[in-house]
Homo-oligomer: A and B are copies of this chain.
Amino acid sequence: MKFAPYLLAVVLGATCWAQPSQPGPASTNARGAEYPCINGDNSVTFRVKADQAQHVQLLLNFQPVDMTKTADGYWELTTKPLSTGFYYYGVSVDGFSSTDPGSKTVIAANKETNILEVPGPESDFFAAKDVPHGEVRTLWYKSGTTGEYRRIFVYTPPGYDQSKARYPVLYLQHGHGEDEAAWSHQGHENFILDNLLAAGKAKPMIIVNEDGMTGAPLQITPPLKGAPAGKPVANSFMERKYETFDSIISKDLIPFIDANFRSMPDREHRALAGLSMGGGEAFRIALNHPDLFAYLGAFSPALAVADTKTDYDGALADPAKVNKEFKLIWLGIGRQDFLNKPVKQTHEELEKAGINHVWVETDGSHSWTVWRKYLADFAPKLFQ
């Protein structure tokens, strides 16, 4: 965020700008909001007004940390230096769990959640640069599976409108509690692809984002009166999502995209990938539909393969068939990710069975910091 010169005189006296080598307010701040403030060492100072409150906590990546009351009715917290990348957060005031009005929000954990971008050269690959830019289109289409109008996000590469060419399509899914906007709002898929394309590192492609939360949410909030506190609703989405979402993707969405965009409408030019829950969805749906997909990506996926002969209804039982059908199975996870163990086990079982796949283990936790990098690694391997 840039401040006009006439503002500097006023701003210079404030805490945020008094830090050494200060970058100042985060790029993810609300317009005109001075806090959160990124300090010179990439520690972050949060500051919220709550002048009658007794207990205020910052919920950084959903973990509560007490904030400290200042003399002027604000509550402050300065973190240790944070690594470059993406953070979800919120604020809890006297038991009220909500958001910091100083930052923008996106959908995570099924509700509006603050975002914080800690800057650094590592984020250069998704910066808006002086290169040709694609578009992110919002569309509504009628789903035969659910009977509703569903909103989707579609990235079209630079020059799509001026060209008569047809393009391959990557179907790219978000994680649990997020929605179809996530790969644009949190992931900056458009800038990642724009930059890869400008560098000649990827084939031009269309990217389609659907809402993968097709079952009921895990829990109704606020808790229903009379229902046991914290108990997931029976028959939660975890038991229903695959069949519903499989039908949406295979019967509704792909035909809609192929009818309305200049796509290459065959399996050789179609990929399915996702992160976390979406990685589990992608793995299962692509394996169920080698007729539809030749490329599969699972970023920190919520999945575990223990036995390639029987798991996933036997879709992995014939390694030669899988190797012939899939031009790419990409599997990646962070070393600090709580899902590292089951995903690593999946990699080992695939390897043991002789199922070809790209295995990527990186530094990082269960975070958009990692998933944006995974897209930048995955996309250049598609449609080659």
The residues of A with any CB-CB pair to B shorter than 8 Å are 2-4, 6-7, 10-11, 13-15, 30-35, 47-56, 72-74, 91, 93-102, 104-105, 107, 110-112, 128, 130, 133, 135-142, 148-149, 161, 179, 184, 213, 215-217, 219-222, 224-227, 233-235, 240, 260-261
Are A74's CB and B222's CB within 8 A?
yes
Can you list 25 pairs linking A and B with CB atoms under 8 Å apart? A4-B215, A6-B216, A15-B225, A32-B217, A32-B221, A33-B221, A34-B221, A48-B96, A49-B95, A49-B222, A50-B94, A50-B95, A51-B94, A53-B94, A73-B95, A74-B222, A91-B98, A99-B99, A99-B105, A102-B221, A102-B222, A104-B112, A136-B138, A138-B138, A161-B261
**Given A13-B226, A98-B91, A100-B98: A130 touches B142 (CB 8 Å cut-off):** yes
- Nearest-neighbour CB distance to chain B for A153, whole angstroms, equals 9
- Nearest-neighbour CB distance to chain B for A380, whole angstroms, equals 22
The residues of B that contact A47 with a CB separation of less than 8 Å are 222
Are A52's CB and B55's CB within 8 A?
yes
The residues of B that contact A135 with a CB separation of less than 8 Å are 137-139
- Cross-interface CB contact of A94 among B94, B97, B148, B222, cutoff 8 Å: B94
A-B contact sample (6 more), CB < 8 A, given A52-B54, A133-B139: A10-B220, A31-B213, A33-B110, A98-B98, A99-B101, A101-B111
Are A7's CB and B216's CB within 8 A?
yes
Are A96's CB and B11's CB within 8 A?
no
Which residue on B lies nearest to A15, using beta carbons?
Answer: B225
**How far is A221 from B220 in the complex, measured between Cα atoms in Å?**
33
Which residue on B lies nearest to A179, using beta carbons?
Answer: B31
- Nearest-neighbour CB distance to chain B for A86, whole angstroms, equals 18
Q: Give the dominant DSSP class at A's interface.
A: loop
The residues of B that contact A102 with a CB separation of less than 8 Å are 111, 221-222
Are B224's CB and A52's CB within 8 A?
no
Which residue on B lies nearest to A73, using beta carbons?
Answer: B95
The residues of B that contact A111 with a CB separation of less than 8 Å are 30-31, 33, 101-102
**How far is A104 from B181 in the complex, measured between Cα atoms in Å?**
13
The residues of B that contact A220 with a CB separation of less than 8 Å are 7, 10-11, 32-34
Which residue on B lies nearest to A139, using beta carbons?
Answer: B135
Are A216's CB and B140's CB within 8 A?
no
Are B225's CB and A13's CB within 8 A?
yes
**How far is A215 from B7 in the complex, measured between Cα atoms in Å?**
11
The residues of B that contact A30 with a CB separation of less than 8 Å are 107, 110-112, 221
**Given A10-B234, A138-B138: A34 touches B96 (CB 8 Å cut-off):** no
Are A7's CB and B233's CB within 8 A?
yes
Are A98's CB and B99's CB within 8 A?
yes
Which residue on B lies nearest to A184, using beta carbons?
Answer: B138
Which residue on B lies nearest to A141, using beta carbons?
Answer: B133
- Nearest-neighbour CB distance to chain B for A101, whole angstroms, equals 5
**How far is A221 from B14 in the complex, measured between Cα atoms in Å?**
12
**Given A99-B99, A140-B128: A225 touches B72 (CB 8 Å cut-off):** yes
